[in-house]
Amino acid sequence: MTHRAKKVSDDPVQPILDLQHRLVEALLKADTEALEAILEDTYVDTDESGSRLDKSAILGALKSGDLKLDSITLLKTEVYRCGNSAVLIGASAQSGSFQGKPIAPKILFTATLILRNRKWTAAAAHRTAVPGN
């Protein structure tokens, strides 16, 4: 994985990247307890098909097996930090299914994170499929 950081302050980007890795690991393991702590209560996810799911819908899809992620490989992540928020822009390769249909094999993503009480959490994400994959 590569990253470029535009630092607006002296704060390191490593805790932000650590959160991204914990999020990926929790999704792969369908670890809803970990995701409960990682995702803001107001978390919103827009997937490759344009469907928008909130935190409870994502946790429910993982618990029911409607969302099954077999692999996620982070290909590139750029971190842009501004105060108590950060935006991640990147690409990943993935395999799995949502409601029995295969998910896009390669995506571009944008994620918004916030720092609250010295802890980074995910506030929103948006993904789009890379054409031709």
The pTM assigned to this predicted structure is 0.88
Mean pLDDT of 30-42: 98
Task: From 89, 99, 91, 71, select the one nearest 131 (Cα to Cα).
Answer: 91
pLDDT at 1 over 60: no
Contact 115, 84 (CB under 8 A): yes
Domains of the chain: 5-64+74-129 (3.10.450.50)
What's the pLDDT at 6?
47
Q: What is the Cα–Cα distance from 33 to 59, expressed in whole angstroms?
A: 9
Q: What is the Cα–Cα distance from 16 to 22, expressed in whole angstroms?
A: 10
Task: From 43, 33, 29, select the one nearest 113 (Cα to Cα).
Answer: 43
pLDDT at 9 over 60: no
Report pLDDT digits (tens) over 99-117.
999 999 999 999 999 999 9
Helices (H), 1-133: 14-29, 32-38, 55-64
Report pLDDT digits (tens) over 67-107.
999 999 999 999 999 999 999 999 999 999 999 999 999 99
